[in-house]
Amino acid sequence: MKVYINGKFYDKKDAKISVFDHGLLYGDGVFEGIRCYNRLVFKLKEHIQRLFESAHSIMLKIPLSKEELIKAVIETLKVNKLSDAYIRLVVTRGEGDLGLDPRKCEGKATVIIIADRIVLYPEELYKKGMSIITVPTIRNLPEALNPQIKSLNYLNNILAKIEAINAGYEEAIMLDSLGYIAECTGDNIFIVKNNQLYTPPQCMGTLRGITRDTVLEIAKKNNIPIHEHVLTRHELYISDECFLTGTAAEIVPVVKVDGRVIGEGKPGKITLKLMKEFKKLTRTEGVRY
């Protein structure tokens, strides 16, 4: 495997950054997870746009233009001879000192691109659906660290993931400070009730997921009514269908939440429809190389 770091490619064992990089010391940086299907990088421009928005929000200057970054992603895939891949694009504040002051890193941002394969959940879960739980760790307050900034500071999500794993589950729901559903540890969440689609709004402490937005687009094209408003666990428990979305996860059905069976206890018709349409889009939407 070859890893891109600041314009050069290194073998995996030689791909290193400074221990003084503020991305390591403080989680000071941003990232994107991107998928490539049969030499088509899905929604690449949208991912790059979101990366720049996250960077702008934390006053981090990316040393490459959007066009240059797109070329670097494509080159990384070509160098690794990958046609299907998961791409991790990382930009850190760069090397500084042991203090918090980001000015000590000015002009030294680190750009890293890793292309590899990923399997987030077992294939069986996509066919039969998964069971998830709600965990005590709440989602970051937008006023503290806005979840719409896809930052390297991911400890909030990791702590919730640990709680899920300790309880024997693959994924977990995180609530906001008021007890409403925010999102899962690495995915956005949707429910279906009476053939209508519901998902928490971005203001509830959720990431503006690229896959989430894609699902909303698909639903609109297929005349499925969509609603973005606050959701309680009660509304989730009595829903007809539930599913999660994410770049790595794609669309994965949920059939049980906190011990409550959702709908008929199997992937629902709208979920299956959206999964089918999403796979079609992965063959046409993105940057071909």
CA distances from 233 to 40, 95, 139, 210, 280 (A): 37, 43, 15, 24, 32
Q: What is the 3-state secondary structure (H, E, C) of 92-104?
A: ECCECCCCCCHHH
Q: How far apart are CA 237 and CA 232, in angstroms?
A: 9
Distance CA 188, CA 186 (A): 7
Question: Residues 78, 150, 161, 256: which is the catalytic one?
Answer: 150
Q: Is 220 noted as a catalytic residue in this protein?
A: no
Q: Are 218 and 279 in contact (CB under 8 A)?
A: no
Q: Are 34 and 89 in contact (CB under 8 A)?
A: yes
* Structure tokens, 271: 């979920």
Token pair of 79 as six digits: 């160098």
Residue 165, by phi and psi: left (phi above 0), alpha (psi -120 to 50) or beta?
A: alpha
Beta strands in 117-249 (DSSP E): 130-134, 172-175, 181-184, 188-193, 196-199, 226-228, 241-246
Residues annotated as catalytic are 150
